[in-house]
Amino acid sequence: MRSPSWSLPRRPWRPRTSSTGNCATWTWWACSRPRNNRETVMKIRRKHIISFVVLAAVLVLVVRAFMPAPVLIDAATAELGPLRVTISEEGRTRVRQRYLITAPASGRLARPALNEGDRVGQGDELARITPSPLGSRESAEARARIETAEALVREAEANVARARVEQEEAARGRDRAEQLAASGSISRERLERAVHAATVAERTLESSLFRHRAAVSEHEVAQAALLALREERGDARAVLSVTAPVGGRVLRLFEESERVVAAGTPLMEVGDPGDMEVTIDVLSTDAVRVDVGQTVWIEEWGGPDPLSGKVSRVEPAAFTRVSALGVDEQRVNVIVDLDETPAELGDGYRVTGRIVVWEKEDVLKIPSSALFRIGESWGVFIVEEGMARSREVSVGQRNGIEAEILEGLAAGDPVILHPNPRITDGVGVETQTN
């Protein structure tokens, strides 16, 4: 049988017997049907899967495009460690016992043979004065100076007696504290304060003895001045010698040339640079937290390591000082005894003092920059599963860099530093890396 004139499909025609059973006919439906229905189904499924994956990817990209980006943050961890609260202010060094040498009588001062920094011993000659001729006024002034010197001697004797009583009482208090500390009845801090109080009392007694010695020397100089003035009438060569009341160094020299001076004119200052103290002026609001015996660290004095010392006294009266911004400030002087005075440290040197007003070895602390106000309380943002969570905390001591946390956090909690207005409760965050 001859094939039809039209072209056949790709798949061959299959003859199919008609219902009469006596002839073969060709049908288009039978010939166009695929050989494998399973292959077609798999192709359709693959197309559906690819379409679904592409649609899901596009949907994810669209959602992520409209989602807010996480806020970049700096984070720190709450940790246990030591915390120290200090008051930091500028200070000046000064010789503890300094003596102002003045002219005991009017006359011509010879050019001093000493220079600033020269060492002198007790009783060494510091200056020579040729007194002016004695008149009634000069004689009265000389007698008045003698009476004043005698009064100063009596005052110095009374101060010595009082200082000796205080020293004995402080020594007994130190002995009692040592006995109580040995039995565990008092803390180590109270023992250290008692020991320091006894040391301060001993220093005060020494200071009183020095002042008494200086007063006696001034009295002797005043008497010698009157005697020299009287001898001047008969001896034009009479010279009054001014001697050192104590040993030390010449700190300042006020008169460097020969000239006529009046009685009471400052000539020089004498003191011992090895016996140094530091005066630190603090705000009156900070002075109420300073107590005798507290530790002080002296920094920026020029040496490689800070110096240690103790607060010896807090002056009871404040004074007014104008700040760099032109604001009147009430200041109080805090006097510090150095544990050791370096030979390089001189009188009047500028230093920075850090007074330790509170310290503890094992506290839960975080950086102060993580704190922010929640009404009247303090709060922080912690990081939980990539989101910021606000948490209220109870804050104890602070030193400007770190803060003590009493309640609200645990060791190891991550906190956000410098929280900005973009950070709210529940917002996504991401720690930035430098």
pLDDT above 60 for 22:
no
How does pLDDT run across 262-296, given as a tens digit for each residue? 888 999 999 988 889 999 999 999 999 999 999 99
pLDDT above 70 for 150:
yes
Q: Mean of the per-residue pLDDT values for the chain?
A: 83
Mean pLDDT for 240-259 is 90
Instruction: Output the pLDDT for position 66.
Output: 64
CA 50, distance to chain mean position in Å, is: 67
| C-alpha distances in Å from residue 356, one per residue of 83, 386, 400 | 11, 39, 14
> Contact 361/404 with Cβ under 8 angstroms?
no
113-119 long-range Cβ contacts below 8 angstroms, 24+ apart:
114/250, 114/253, 114/268, 115/250, 115/253, 116/250, 116/251, 116/252, 116/253, 117/249, 117/250, 118/249, 118/250, 119/247, 119/248, 119/249
**DSSP state letter for 91:** E
Pick from 24-28, 36-40, 84-88, 297-301: least confident: 24-28
**DSSP state letter for 19:** T
CATH number of 71-83+360-431: 3.60.150.10, 3.40.50.720, 2.40.420.20, 3.40.50.1220? 2.40.420.20
Tokens read off for 253 = 């020299």
Percent of the chain with pLDDT over 90: 38
Instruction: Output the pLDDT for position 127.
Output: 92
Beta strands in 160-306 (DSSP E): 240-243, 248-253, 259-261, 266-271, 276-283, 295-299
Q: Answer yes or no: CATH 2.170.130 is held by domain 99-271.
A: no
Instruction: Output the pLDDT for position 411.
Output: 93
- The answer for residues whose C-beta is within 8 angstroms of residue 38's C-beta and 6 or more apart is none
Where do the structural domains in the chain lie, given as residue ranges? 16-63, 71-83+360-431, 85-90+274-359, 99-271
pLDDT above 60 for 23:
no
Residue 237, burial from CB neighbour count under 10 angstroms (0-12, 13-18, 19+):
exposed
Scanning the structure block, which residue is given the tokens 């010879």? 110
Mean pLDDT for 150-158 is 84
Q: Answer yes or no: CATH 3.40.50.720 is held by domain 85-90+274-359.
A: no
State the pLDDT confidence band at 6, using cuts at 50, 70 and 90.
very low
> Contact 111/241 with Cβ under 8 angstroms?
no
Using alpha carbons, select from 47, 45, 48, 8 the residue that is nearest to residue 28: 8
What's the CA dihedral at 132, 133, 136, 139 to 10 degrees?
60
Report the alpha-carbon distance of residue 84 to residue 210 in Å, rounded: 38
Instruction: Output the pLDDT for position 75.
Output: 92
Selection from 223-227, 366-370, 420-424 with the highest mean pLDDT? 366-370
Tokens read off for 147 = 């009476």
**φ and ψ of 315, to 5 deg:** -60, 140
What are the DSSP calls for 363-385, one per residue?
EEEEEGGG-EEETTEEEEEEEET
